[in-house]
Amino acid sequence: MAEPLRIALAGLGTVGAGVIRLVEANKALIARRAGRPIEIVAVSARDRTRDRGVDMSRYAWEDDMVILGERPDVDVVVELVGGSDGPALACARTTIEAGKALVTANKAMIAHHGLELAAKAEAAKVALKFEAAVAGGIPVIKGLREGAAANAIDRVYGILNGTCNFILSTMEDTGRDFADVLAEAQKRGYAEADPTFDIEGTDAAHKLSILAAISFGAKIDFGAVDTMGISRLLAADIAQADALGYVIRLIGMAEADLTGAAPRMFQRVQPHLVPFDHPLAHVDGATNAVVAEGNFSGRLLFQGAGAGEGPTASAVAADLIDIARGEIGAPFSVPVAELEAMAPADTGHRLGRAYIRFAVADRPGVLAEITAAMRDAGVSIESLIQKGRAGPDGQVLVAMVTHEGPESAVSEALRLLEGSASLAAAPLVMQILGE
């Protein structure tokens, strides 16, 4: 059998320890499938004394993770530290510049610096792989980059954050409000102590920008992702969606617009109302799911555990097996020089139906004011519901669903209502996911 592939691990948290357990438990199987053994030779983490449930004495220890890429006995560095910059980025750059392959689960780093790292890897003729950066153990990057390689992907969308999906599906099942379910998610380890990146949509936006680049052969443009999280959702929104035949899910969606003189790219992360009969409506708990629509393959659905020790370690190991087999390839399917720079697409002309929720003062004339603004902006109302009496604050919730129309019309209606004394808070707008 060929010489072993020697790897170093930067980061020994849940996933790092999981990689060690997986590589050791499935050593013989991995060697057969990779054509050579995969051996861990060195590790690095902030705390050398922490008990991680695995024997670390077998591996060389580096206090500075950047040194891992410079070690002569290392072929591949696996970066599991996280963060878009700092030590993780320094380690990635040093590793590739030293002619070593890099495997990472760091979606923030790839979203912000993926093009730079891919260009360095192509120049050095080494692998840069990041399957674990998107959707945990689901092989969606491999599926898009290899399985669907012959297809033009028109649209890619899905549930990309397990924390948000756990919160929304639990609110749906229990009727509890957002803050209460978030606290439970933190206790159960689904949400960080500071959950901002998850609940405000940033984590999903990182992943979406990577999927969009691979799907459309485009340069990553994380800054162009229109992002809204789930922190403003109420139990009343969940209940109203259910009564209308929908569930609410945080959806990341990207589409390529090739109709104009220059290609454009639409990218958005936002809570959507999802019809009961759509596949994504049945994705519950901390699960992720991605839908890709190819011009010949049709709709492809990738679904599974989006995070956790086992699934993420599995994705890391799959990348290592590819490298052991000698598979390099362009990190984003095509060489960096051939990736298109797609300007952000204008969203105003997009046609769709929307759910709009208002918190209003309980007094005569409020509904007339809202409907007049909708009329003047050209928004056609399909249904309008006001339930219950005013609470202690004198406010009631009014929800409406629009007929299909341009998003610019809804934006104009809300502009007409800006500053109205009838509105107690900014309206919440969620698109309804179409077929």
Residue 435 has pLDDT above 70, yes or no: no
Q: What local confidence, expressed as pLDDT, does residue 188 receive?
A: 83
Domains of the chain in start order, with CATH, are 5-133 (3.40.50.720), 140-305 (3.30.360.10), 351-432 (3.30.70.260)
pLDDT band at 122 (very low <50, low <70, confident <90, very high): very high
The yes-or-no answer on residue 207 being catalytic is yes
Q: Which residue has the higher pLDDT, 118 or 285?
A: 118
Q: CA-to-CA distance for 321 and 134, rounded, in angstroms?
A: 18
3-state SS string for 289-332 = EEEEEECCCEEEEEEEECCCHHHHHHHHHHHHHHHHCCCCCCCC
pLDDT at residue 284, rounded to an integer: 92
Distance between CA atoms of 303 and 279, rounded to whole angstroms? 10
**Residue 76 pLDDT:** 98
Distance CA 118, CA 122 (A): 6
* CA atoms within a 13 Å half-sphere pointing along the CA-CB vector of 209: 26
* Mean pLDDT in residue range 342-350: 89
**What is the rounded average pLDDT of the residues 365-379?**
94
For 140-179, the pLDDT digits (tens) are 999 999 999 999 999 999 999 999 999 999 999 999 999 9
pLDDT digits (tens, 9 = 90+) for 12-53: 998 999 999 999 999 999 999 999 999 999 999 998 888 888
Q: What does the pLDDT read at residue 390? A: 57
Pick from 228, 229, 230: which is nearest to 168 by CA? Answer: 230
pLDDT at residue 394 is higher than 90 = no
Q: For position 95, what pLDDT does the model report?
A: 98
Q: What percent of the chain has pLDDT over 90?
A: 81
Catalytic residue among 100, 142, 207, 219: 207
CA dihedral 93, 94, 100, 103 (to 10 degrees): -50
The per-residue pLDDT for 31 is: 96
HEC-encoded secondary structure of 349-406: CCEECEEEEEEEECCCCHHHHHHHHHHHHCCCEEEEEECCCCCCCCEEEEEEEECCEE
Q: If you search the block for the tokens 């999981």, which residue do you land on? A: 18
Among candidate residues 133, 150, 432, 433, the one with its CA nearest the CA of residue 300:
150
**pTM passes above 0.85:** yes
pLDDT band at 307 (very low <50, low <70, confident <90, very high): confident
- 79 contacts 93 by C-beta, under 8 angstroms: no
Give the position of tokens 């204008």.
346
Percent of the chain residues past pLDDT 70, beyond the cut: 98
Q: Are strands 287-294 and 298-305 parallel, antiparallel or unpaired?
A: antiparallel
pLDDT at 363: 84
Stretch 96-121: mean pLDDT:
97
